[in-house]
Amino acid sequence: MFQALFTSLLQETTQRSLWLAGPELALTAGIVLLLLGRLLGFDKLIPPHWIALAGAMAAFGLSLAIFYSANSTDPTAADEYFGVYFSGLMTFDKFGALVRLFLLLFLVFVLALTVLSGIPDAEDGPDFYTLLLGAVVGMLLMCSANNLLMVFLGIEMASVPSYAMAGFLKGRKQGSEAALKFVVFGAGAAGVMLYGISLLAGMLGTGDFQEIGLRLTVLFGNADGTLSDPVRAATIRTLLLALVMIFVGFAFKLSIVPFHFWTPDVFQGAPAEVGGFLSVASKAAAFALLTRLVLAIMSAGTASLQDLYLILGIAVGVIAAVTATFGNLAAYSQTNMKRMLAYSTIAHAGYMLMAIAAMMVLQSGRIGGDTSLAERSSHAVEGLLYYLAVYLFMNLGAFSITALIRNEIFSEEIEDYRGLGYQAPVLCVGMGLCLFSLVGLPPLGGFVGKLMIFASLLDAGYVHWSMWVILAIGGLNTVLSLFYYLNVLKTMYLTERPAGATTVTFPAWSSAGLYVMLVTVPIIVLGVHVQLVSNAARRAAEVLFLQ
C-alpha cells in the first residue's frame, strides 16, 4: 500500500512534475552556481551576470518549450498533461505557461539591462543576481499555485528577495530607509494575509483550489440566503473577513490604495532597474495568482454566494477606480522621474484591477445562471494578459531609459531632462513611445490593452450598472494621465538645454541603443499586430473557464 503510493508519487514526480517545474529548476541551478562561485572563488573568472543570464535563458527556453507543447496539445483530451502536479500543490495549464513565459522573458530583459547599465558592480554581482533569480522563482510558483499554502509561500518567496534588492545600493540612506519600510510593511501585510488564509482554510478544511468553490457551495447551499440565521451570519462574516485579509496581501504586492504607501519611497530609493523589475514582474505574478484564486473561489456557488460575489466584485471595482485616480493625481505633482513612475505604476495596477473586477462581476452573473457570461469573463482575463504583455515592454522601457539617462546625466529629476530630446534622440523617442503607450494612445500597445479591459467593463456593466461608472472613471483617468506623462516629453523637447548642463552623446548603434529599440519596438508591434499575442492570451484565458 505505502509502497504503491510511494511508487506512483515517484513516477509522477520524475516523469511529469520535474519537467513542468523545469524553469524553476533551471533558475535554482543558476542560484546554486552563483553561490558556489562566490564560495569557490570562480566568480572572478566567469562574471556572475553571465551565469545568471545563462540560467535565465535556460529557464526561458524550457518555458518556451513547455508553452509550445501546451499549445499544441488538445486541452480536452489531455488529462495526462494538464492539471495538478507535485501532489496537487501546483497546477499546469496554458494560462500558467503564458504568464511564466512573460516573466522569464522579462527576467532576460532585466538581466540584459543590468549588464548594460552597470548596476550592480562586480563586487555585489553574485548577491544581486541570486536575489533576482530567487524572486523570480517565487513568482513562477505564484503563477502555478494550486493551494492556499503555495499562495503564501510564493508571495513570500517573491517578496523577501525584493526587500533586499530595494536597499541594494549600500551607503545610500534613502535606499536603506526604503528597504526597511518595505520590509516592515511587507511583513505586516503578510501577517494579515496569513491570518486570512488560516481563517479560510480552517473554515473549509482544505487549501486546494479545486475544492474551495465546491466546499463553499456545500457550506452555503442549504440556507435561504439571509443573515437572519445567526450561525450562517457568523460564517459569512468569517468568510468575508478571510477574503478581505487575503486581499490585503495581494493589495500590498499590487500597491493598491490604501496599501500603496511603500511604493513611492521604494521606487525612489531603489535603483531604476529594481524599480522596473518590481513594477512589472511582481505585478504580473500577483495578478496571475489573484485571477486563479478568485476563479477558484467563484467556480461554483449558490444564490446567496452570488450576491456576496457581486458585492465583492463591485468593491474591487471601486478600489480599482480609487487606485487609478489616486495614482494619476498624485503623479501629477512629482518632480522625480522614478517617483512619478511609481505613482504611474499604482495607477496602472488600478486599470488592471478593473479587469479583475469585471471578471468577478461577470462570474457572479454566471453563477446566477447566465452561462454565456463565461466567454465574456474569459475576455476580461484575455484583456488582463494582453495588458500585462504590453505593460512588460512599456514600463520596462520607461524604467530602463530612466536608468540609461541616469548613467549619462547622473540625475533622475525631470527638470534635468530639459532639451535632452535633441542630444539623445534614441532615448527620448523611446521614452516618448513608452509614455504614449502608458497613456494609451493608438496605435501603440497600451491602447489595445486599455481597450480590451474597458470592453470587459462594458460587458460587465450589463450585469451591474456600477461597472459603467468604473468604466467612465477609467476613461477619465486616461485623460488625467496625459498631462503628467506629456510633461516629461515637453521638458525633453520643448525647452532648451540649460547652459552648462552636461552634453549627452548617446549613439543609436550602441548596445544600449539597440536595447532601447528592442524594448520599444514591441510596443508598436503589439499595437498594430494584435493577433500576435491576443490569440495566445485568449487560449490561455479560455482554459480557466472550461468547467
Partner 1 sequence: MDTGTVLRNLLTLAWLLPLAGFVAEIYALQLRWSHRLSKAPAQLAVACIGAGFLCSLSALLYWGNETKWVGFAPVEHHTPAEGLDGGDTAPADALRPDATGGEPASEHHHQTPKFYAGTFYKLAQFGPLEITLDWYIDSLTLVMFTMVTFIATCIHLFAMGYMKDELTEEYEDHQVHLPGGHHFTRPGRFHRFFAFLSLFCFSMLGLVLAGNIFQVFIFWELVGVCSYLLIGFYVERHSASTAANKAFIMNRVGDFGFLIGLMILITSLGTFRFFDVTTADGAEQTGLFSLVRGDDGKLDISDDPSVTKSVVYLRDSHGHRLVDGTTPRTISYLLLIAAGLGVFAGSIGKSAQFPLQTWLPDAMEGPTPVSALVHSATMVAAGVYLAGRFYPMFPPEVLLGIAYIGCITLFVAATIAVVATDIKKVLAYSTISQLGYMMLGIGVGGWAAGLFHLVTHAFFKSLMFLASGSVIAGCHHEQDMRKMGGLRHKMPITAYTMLIGVIAIAGLAIPGVGNALFGQALAFSGYHSKDAIVASALAFSELNRNPLHNILFIVPLVTAGITAFYMFRLWFMTFAGQPQDEHVYEHAHENPAIMTAPLVILSLLAAGCAIGGEDGWLYCLLSFSETVPTVDRFTSERVASIVIPSHLDARDVHGTAGGLALLAAFAGTTVAYLLYCRKVVNPDDIRRQAGGVYDFLVDKWRFDTLYDVAFVRPCHIVASWCQGFDQKVLDVVLHASAAITIVVSKWERTFDEGMVDGLVNLIGNSTTNFGRSLRVVQTGRLRQYVMWIAVGVVVLFAALFTALPK
CA atoms within 13 A on the CB side of 275: 33
**At its nearest, how many Å lie between partner 1 and the CB of residue 346?**
11
Q: Given candidates 15, 222, 333, 505, which one binds partner 1 under the rule CB under 8 A?
A: 333
Question: Stretches 116-124, 175-183, 419-427, 458-466: which one binds partner 1 (CB under 8 A)?
Answer: 175-183
Choose which of 373, 426, 433, 480 interacts with partner 1 (CB under 8 A). 480
Angle at 66 between CA 61 and CA 70, to 5 degrees: 150
Q: Tell me the C-alpha distance between 533 and 530, whole Å.
A: 6
CA 420 to the chain's CA centroid: 31
- What is the rounded CA–CA span in Å between residue 385 and residue 459? 17
Q: b/e string for 75-91 if b means 16 or more Cβ within 10 A?
A: beeeeeebebbbebbbb
Cβ distance to partner 1 smaller for residue 170 or 237: 237
Instruction: Closer to partner 1 by CB, 244 or 489: give it.
Output: 244
Nearer to partner 1, 177 or 413 (CB): 177
Half-sphere exposure (CA, 13 Å, Cβ side) for 220? Answer: 27
Q: Which range touches partner 1 (CB under 8 A), out of 99-107, 155-163, 304-312, 433-441?
A: 304-312
DSSP for residue 422 = G
Cell triple for 301: 456557488
Return the closest-CA partner of residue 478 out of 377, 336, 350. Answer: 350
Residues 401-460 that bind partner 1 (CB under 8 A): none
Among 180, 203, 458, 530, contact with partner 1 (rule: CB under 8 A):
180
Which of 81, 127, 206, 332 is the binder for partner 1 (CB under 8 A)? 332
Residue/partner pairs of 169-174 with CB below 8 Å, 24 or more apart: 169/119, 169/270, 169/271, 170/124, 172/269, 174/268, 174/269
Nearer to partner 1 by C-beta: 78 or 240? 240
**394 lies in the site for partner 1, by CB under 8 A:** no
Strand partners, 84: 91
CB 251 → partner 1: shortest distance, Å? 8
Q: How far is the CB of 446 from partner 1 (least distance, A)?
A: 20
Phi, psi dihedral angles at 260 (to 5 degrees): -105, 0
CB of 441 to partner 1, least distance (A): 19
C-beta of 332 vs 468, nearer to partner 1:
332
Closer to partner 1 by Cβ: residue 21 or 242 = 242
Under DSSP, the state recorded for 413 is: B
Among 25, 329, 455, 521, binds partner 1 (CB under 8 A): 329
> Would you state the cell numbers that stand for residue 401, as one nine-digit string?
531609459
To partner 1, the closest distance from the beta carbon of 413 in angstroms equals 17
Interface with partner 1 (CB under 8 A), residue total 38
Q: Is cis: bond before 120, omega within 30 of 0?
A: yes
In the list 124, 156, 211, 307, the residue contacting partner 1 (rule: CB under 8 A) is 307
Which of 315, 451, 518, 521 lies at the binding interface for partner 1 (CB under 8 A)?
A: 315
- Cell 468604473 -> residue: 470
Q: Within positions 213 to 272, which residues make up the interface with partner 1, using CB under 8 A?
A: 225-227, 236-237, 240-241, 244-245, 247-248, 251-252, 258-259, 261-262
How far apart are alpha carbons 209 and 214 in whole angstroms? 10
What angle do helix axes 173-204 and 148-166 make, rounded to 10 degrees? 170
Stretch touching partner 1 by CB under 8 A, among 71-79, 128-136, 324-332, 351-359: 324-332
CB closer to partner 1, 61 vs 188 = 188
Give the separation between CA 26 and CA 343, rounded to whole angstroms.
34
**Amino acid letter, 68:** Y
**Chosen residue from 46, 483, 514, 529 binding partner 1 by CB under 8 A:** 483
Q: Which position among 89, 101, 110, 192 is part of the footprint of partner 1 (CB under 8 A)?
A: 192
- β partners of residue 91: 84
> Applying CB under 8 A, which of residues 13, 304, 336, 495 lies at the interface with partner 1?
304
CB of 83 to partner 1, least distance (A): 34
Of 174-182, 386-394, 432-440, 513-521, the segment contacting partner 1 by CB under 8 A is: 174-182
Strands (E), 15-151: 83-85, 90-92
Amino acid sitting at position 244:
V
Between residues 85 and 326, which has the closer beta carbon with respect to partner 1? 326
Rule CB under 8 A: choose which of 56, 219, 312, 385 binds partner 1: 312
Smallest distance, partner 1 to C-beta of residue 304, A: 8
Which of 82, 86, 129, 326 binds partner 1 (CB under 8 A)? It is: 326
Nearer to partner 1, 192 or 321 (CB): 192
Burial of 15 (0-12, 13-18, 19+ CB in 10 A): exposed
- For 18, the grid coordinates are 520535474
d(CA 210, CA 206) in angstroms, rounded, equals 10
Q: Could you tell me the sign of the dihedral formed by the alpha carbons of 318, 383, 378, 472, in that order?
A: positive
Q: How far apart are CA 493 and CA 490, in angstroms?
A: 5
DSSP 498: P
Stretch that binds partner 1, among 135-143, 179-187, 199-207, 435-443 (CB under 8 A): 179-187
C-alpha cell at position 16: 511529469
Nearer to partner 1, 104 or 360 (CB): 360
Q: Which is nearer to partner 1, 204 or 251 (CB)?
A: 251
Q: Whose Cβ is closer to partner 1: residue 252's or residue 447's? A: 252
Minimum distance from CB of 244 to partner 1 (Å)? 5
Pairing of strands 83-85, 90-92: antiparallel
Interface contacts to partner 1, rule CB under 8 A: 177, 180-181, 184-185, 188-189, 192, 225-227, 236-237, 240-241, 244-245, 247-248, 251-252, 258-259, 261-262, 304, 307-308, 311-312, 315, 326, 329-330, 332-333, 480, 483
